[in-house]
Amino acid sequence: MSPNPESYWASFVSSYRKLHNLTQEDLAARLNVSQQTVSRWEAGQQVPDATSQAVLKQVLGEADFGSKKLLIERVRQSSGCNLLLNSNAVVVAASSAVASAINRDSSREIEGLHLDELLPLPRPGTVEMAARAGLFDGRLMSISFTC
């Protein structure tokens, strides 16, 4: 299931802006829109129209849509329980909700740990099950757990 357009654009615009240390006003000037428009996009109150989406992709660069840095930042800033793992089940990025769920002060404390080290109870075979399901080879995008 894909995210709704409002949350996708809100997350993308906000993450890009923060990743590049831009204010809403700075980004608005680059895109030739008002600061209020950028604010509405980030709040998920408005989706950029087709023309604005094309300009966003051109100005911000197609490469940023899939860049590792942007993905890591999106996971860190997400409000839900999200982890980004590498192919060895080591945490690359984590949201603060995950940190709270396992009684850690910061999501940065989790980064670099193996998934088995994060599970609140010993759950033998969890990583192996995820690997068999295709989580680490690109056949499966995510596994949902409740925090």
DSSP conformation letters of 22-71 = --HHHHHHHHTS-HHHHHHHHHTS-PPPHHHHHHHHHHH-HHHHS-HHHH
* Residue 114 neighbours by CB under 8 Å, 6+ apart: 88, 89, 90, 91, 127
At residue 14, the pLDDT reads: 84
At residue 10, the pLDDT reads: 83
At residue 17, the pLDDT reads: 82
At residue 142, the pLDDT reads: 64
Q: Which segments in the chain show pLDDT lower than 50? A: 1-2, 63
- Rounded to an integer, what distance in angstroms lies between the CA atom of residue 86 and that of residue 100? 22
At residue 2, the pLDDT reads: 44
At residue 61, the pLDDT reads: 62
Helices 5-19, 24-31: axis angle to 10 degrees equals 110
